[in-house]
């Protein structure tokens, strides 16, 4: 899969994606990343691409013209319908399902925001584009958010992870949190690994993991339970979990 990143600070993104899963994915040609400097599309000798907002107010805005010019050039060199992600606070929340949808693509353009954001007209003038946010908080720029999105998508690509089942078991893949994990030693300061995990009974272990996944999601992220609409069987499992953990 090919990611083309339009950014003012390519080195900031590079420093976040050269290790671990992403580093191996790049080395193994599972993903390809092109960096496009927005300043290269400035129409002035100072290479500035921002200006004061009409109507006054603090901060600067990224201008529409250089951004549109950059996107059009990328599309002209490949094909005109490469999807574009604009990283903005007003975008739809980036979730696992969205990562799964994007992982089915061959190419994606991601535009990192800065300053007070983009001239609003870019959203209307760039076809096949989507505004995306990684959360309800403010960070200094979209470069960190870009790295998050690339990571989430890459994990879902064939051969990106050492174990093909790893991504399937991640939190949020089925709308629930992952079940608890334990490793050696069996006891730490009086806290022991649940006996079922030491039993060797794979059926019982799987049932325990399902129950824990549903129960922990209910406790820690009830919003996910509401969105999921539990089946009758899952509701019964949740009731069993609550009964097991009744204080």
User: Is position 50 annotated as part of the catalytic site?
Assistant: no
User: Is position 174 annotated as part of the catalytic site?
Assistant: no
d(CA 53, CA 189): 58
Tokens of 41: 């599309």
Quick check: 152 and 110 in contact, CB under 8 A?
no
In whole angstroms, how large is the CA radius of gyration of the chain?
22
What are φ and ψ of residue 22, in 5° steps?
Answer: -70, -40
83, 89, 107, 228: the active-site residue: 89
User: Is position 77 annotated as part of the catalytic site?
Assistant: no
DSSP string over 26-80: HHTTS-EEEEEEGGGG-SSTT---EEPPTT--SS-EE-HHHHHHHHHHHHHHS-T
Is the backbone of residue 175 left (phi > 0), alpha (psi -120 to 50) or beta? left
CB atoms within 10 A of CB 52: 12
User: Is residue 86 classed as helix, strand or coil in its secondary structure?
Assistant: strand
Place of tokens 């129960």: 215
170, 178, 207, 234: the active-site residue: 170
User: Is position 121 annotated as part of the catalytic site?
Assistant: no
50, 75, 143, 155: the active-site residue: 155
12, 116, 178, 240: the active-site residue: 116
d(CA 150, CA 110): 9
- Residues catalogued as catalytic: 89, 116, 155, 170
């Amino acid at each position: 899969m090919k990611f083309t990143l339009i950014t003012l600070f390519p080195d900031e993104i590079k420093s976040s994606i050269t290790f671990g899963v992403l580093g191996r994915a790049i080395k193994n040609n599972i993903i390809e990343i092109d960096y496009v400097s927005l300043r290269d599309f400035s129409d002035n000798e100072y290479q500035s691409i921002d200006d004061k907002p009409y109507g006054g107010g603090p901060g600067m805005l990224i201008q529409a013209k250089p951004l549109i010019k950059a996107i059009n050039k990328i599309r002209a060199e490949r094909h005109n319908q490469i999807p574009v992600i604009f990283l903005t606070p007003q975008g739809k929340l980036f979730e696992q399902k969205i990562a799964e949808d994007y992982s089915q693509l061959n190419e994606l353009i991601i535009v990192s925001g800065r300053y007070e954001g983009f001239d609003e007209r870019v959203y209307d003038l760039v076809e096949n584009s989507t505004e995306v946010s990684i959360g309800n908080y403010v960070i200094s720029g979209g470069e960190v958010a870009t790295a998050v999105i690339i990571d989430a998508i890459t994990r879902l690509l064939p051969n990106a992870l050492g174990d093909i089942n790893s991504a399937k078991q991640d939190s949020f893949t089925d709308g629930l949190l992952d079940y608890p994990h334990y490793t050696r030693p069996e006891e730490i300061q009086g806290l022991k690994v649940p006996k079922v995990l030491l039993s060797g009974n794979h059926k019982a272990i799987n049932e325990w993991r399902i129950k824990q996944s549903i129960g922990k999601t209910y406790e820690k992220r009830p919003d996910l339970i509401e969105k999921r609409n539990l089946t009758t069987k899952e509701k019964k499992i949740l009731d069993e979990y609550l009964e097991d953990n009744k204080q």
